[in-house]
Structure 1
Amino acid sequence: MSYQTITLVKEAGVVTLTINRPPLNPLNSQFFRELDRVVAEIGGDQEVRVLIITGAGEKAFAAGADVTEMVDLTPLEMYDFCRLSLAAYNRLENLDKPTIAAVNGLALGGGCELALACDFRLAAETARFALPEINLGIIPGGGGTQRLPRLIGTARARELLFLGEMIDAATAREYGLVNRVVPGNALLSEAGKLAEKLLAKPPVAQRMLKMALNNGMNMDLPAALLFELESFLLAFGSADRVEGFRALLEKRKPEFKGK
């Protein structure tokens, strides 16, 4: 299948999705439709275990939503635009497989929100992050006001959201916005190494772990602990668990089958 805004490479259980609108890779409605479709397809593809998202070129991961498309929209039309982005980002966040944002440059506005919807964020040393919507007379509409404070805490999130200022990769690492900062020429290689580590883990337990994390964040503690227990028991009932226990007792490397 051909796409207008992205390119896909599938290799050894890993799909690399590249936002292909250089040099700034702005996110338009077509991108959100394509992202939503691709993530849905990955969710049903048993051969795919990890998704990596990056941007074409060296300048930007995604420098925000496409203002040229947004500028003349009515509030109702803008509502439909935001619903597209929210649907795509929610599907990405809830994909039952690990996702990695390999942030190769500017991650502004919707681009930062896209990275926030991933499980892991690796940043090139030249990467920059911001939610600058306040400077345009608006606020984030793709999950920024909700995912950011859940990730880095309300104090730092308020600073970034109210000031709309850009931070560098090192500061993003300090804030907990990214997991790791690496040289730009090693970004995809490091993302690949992380993907390889994730590929070695049991798929059923990965799915249950992601469900427990994502759903538990929106529950009170007693309900979240119960949900965790239920997720644990589902993982415990898997053939992967039997293999993991046997491998431990037999002092060998487990061979997980995702069952």
Structure 2
Amino acid sequence: MYEHIVWERTENVVVITLDRPRVLNALNRALKRELADALTKIKGDESIRAVVITGAGDQAFSAGQDLTEAKDMTGPEAEEWVREFELLYDQVRMLDVPVIAAVNGWAMGAGCQLALLADIRISSENARYGMPEIRDGIPAVFGLELLWNTIGMSRGLYLVLSGDSLDARQAQDAGLTIKVVQRRELLTEAMALARTMAQFAPIAMKQNKQYARRRTESDFRACARFCESAHHASFAAGDAKRGMEAFLTKQR
């Protein structure tokens, strides 16, 4: 059905696996389109009662945006890039069923943002969360907004401004993840929780999710609009291009 994600359904729970392990499940446009399509199908199927999102392999949930696609963007193209992410993130936010991120390694940049958009995060012992975009000359506006709602402004600013990251235990202490388990137990734990929540009354679940969206909606939209202008400025100035080229050169 898909090339860059794997869709598996067990009774009323769907597991979506980001499936680009050779590049640490980096989010390119093709993967984002497939993920958005899968989430749209879930939204339209009332028999699906919970979702688990994870990454293929043992190294990463997702290393973030695929920089090979982004490094040559102009300012206007960077704005469109932000709008693409906003549309994808909306697909996660608009689900009326619980979404669990089973974070199996590195969750960086847009990968961390995807995990933060989930309602609940369960982490493997090697999980690590961060917003390293500043090192590439890219503002992490979406990241800061989502961190603010999860672990507070002070800790969020530290991660965004320093490019530092939290290991699994630090993330648990900060309230970013609810549980840390061994890698081999991660999906089992996530599925057990998903099955439990899938048994609950769907109308009550829907109302809880809708209220959470209502509380964050205006700030999320304001963040998206600011993110467009921030990315335009960074890409137009050449900061982002220089930062990403330096990073990609180190990876060769």
State the TM-score, normalizing by the size of structure 2: 0.83
Structure 2 counterpart SS, 1:27? coil
Q: CA deviation at 1:40?
A: 1.0
**Does structure 2 conserve the Cα–Cα contact (< 8 Å) formed by 1:60 and 1:107?**
yes
Q: CA deviation at 1:77?
A: 1.6
Counterparts of residues 1-259 of structure 1 (less than 5 Å): 2-23=1-22, 24-140=24-140, 143-218=142-217
RMSD of equivalent CA atoms: 1.4
After superposition, give the CA deviation of every residue in 1:85-127 in whole Å (9 maximum; x if it has no partner).
1111122022111100000010000100000111010100110
Alpha-carbon separation, structure 1, partners of 2:140 and 2:35: 19
**Does structure 2 conserve the Cα–Cα contact (< 8 Å) formed by 1:63 and 1:111?**
yes
Equivalent in the alignment of 1:227 = none
Higher Rg of the two aligned structures: 1
RCO higher in structure (CA 8 A, sep ≥6): 2
Q: CA deviation at 1:66?
A: 0.1
Count of equivalent residues? 218
Q: CA deviation at 1:218?
A: 5.0
Alpha-carbon separation, structure 2, partners of 1:152 and 1:110: 17
Q: CA deviation at 1:56?
A: 0.4
Q: CA deviation at 1:216?
A: 2.4
Q: CA deviation at 1:219?
A: 7.3
Q: CA deviation at 1:41?
A: 0.8
Structure 2 counterpart SS, 1:45? coil
Q: CA deviation at 1:4?
A: 2.1
After superposition, give the CA deviation of every residue in 1:207-239 in whole Å (9 maximum; x if it has no partner).
00111122124579xxxxxxxxxxxxxxxxxxx
Could you say if the C-alpha distance between residues 219 and 56 of structure 1 is closer, same or farther in structure 2, counting changes exceeding 3 Å? Answer: closer
Alpha-carbon separation, structure 1, partners of 2:83 and 2:122: 27
Structure 2 counterpart SS, 1:3? coil
Alpha-carbon separation, structure 1, partners of 2:8 and 2:211: 29
Where in structure 2 are there 5+ consecutive unaligned residues?
220-252
Structure 1 counterpart SS, 2:17? strand
Letter in 2 for 1:4: E
After superposition, give the CA deviation of every residue in 1:137-193 in whole Å (9 maximum; x if it has no partner).
11125x212111011111111111110112100001111111111111100000011
Where in structure 1 are there 5+ consecutive unaligned residues?
221-259
Alpha-carbon separation, structure 1, partners of 2:114 and 2:216: 19
**Does structure 2 conserve the Cα–Cα contact (< 8 Å) formed by 1:124 and 1:182?**
yes
Letter in 2 for 1:216: R
After superposition, give the CA deviation of every residue in 1:35-78 in whole Å (9 maximum; x if it has no partner).
11111110111221111000000011000100111111212222
Structure 1 counterpart SS, 2:7? strand
Alpha-carbon separation, structure 2, partners of 1:112 and 1:50: 20
Alpha-carbon separation, structure 1, partners of 2:98 and 2:194: 8
Alpha-carbon separation, structure 2, partners of 1:169 and 1:48: 29
Structure 2 counterpart SS, 1:65? coil
Letter in 2 for 1:159: Y
Alpha-carbon separation, structure 2, partners of 1:216 and 1:86: 17
Structure with greater helix share of residues: 2
Alpha-carbon separation, structure 2, partners of 1:213 and 1:83: 22
Alpha-carbon separation, structure 2, partners of 1:7 and 1:218: 30
Alpha-carbon separation, structure 1, partners of 2:75 and 2:31: 20
Equivalent in the alignment of 1:236 = none
Alpha-carbon separation, structure 2, partners of 1:218 and 1:36: 19
Structure 1 counterpart SS, 2:80? helix
